[in-house]
Structure 1
């Protein structure tokens, strides 16, 4: 971390000036700091003011979990984050991810969804 040249915390001085003069423009702050012997530019003043505003805003987070609510289930070990399992089940609980990939390949080979449906209907009549 860089050492301060004159031991003055410029950001603190700027924040204090803005607390006393909330409607001051950056150039006014630069002039006031120059009178104190602090060398700053308008861009630095604007950055300090912006960062001070960010710290004042309160971010609302989710309410804390109570003891009566269930805790989140533990993650299964051995699986890399972000990867889908090879046989993930859909909402219906019957179709795996691999099956969907194969269905997509069939649709592409048949020349579209309608042709694949027609072929599946014909297959169903033969088997069923």
Structure 2
């Protein structure tokens, strides 16, 4: 890792201060003014500093705010039997809605094995 020079002057801060005092100054004019007071910068660096200072400052860390979980628990829904046309298409394939409902059931039951046990008990009750 490169070492920082400890030559006292913060070039970016000096540019920001000059631009605050002279808001209409172009990057080339700012670079020339900085060279006149002994700070060696080019117009591109001045332009970058001005651009970065205009950006909105975000505070805090990136990502999801603290205390918010990835998945929110869905309210309990009544699981009714879907209509035959909704559950299966004409070719006998399971619809996407049915798969989504099955996934929700498995998540609520705590796993595939628990869901299978519950379905087998339900099947016995319905006979």
What is the TM-score of this pair, normalised by structure 2?
0.45
What is the TM-score of this pair, normalised by structure 1?
0.45
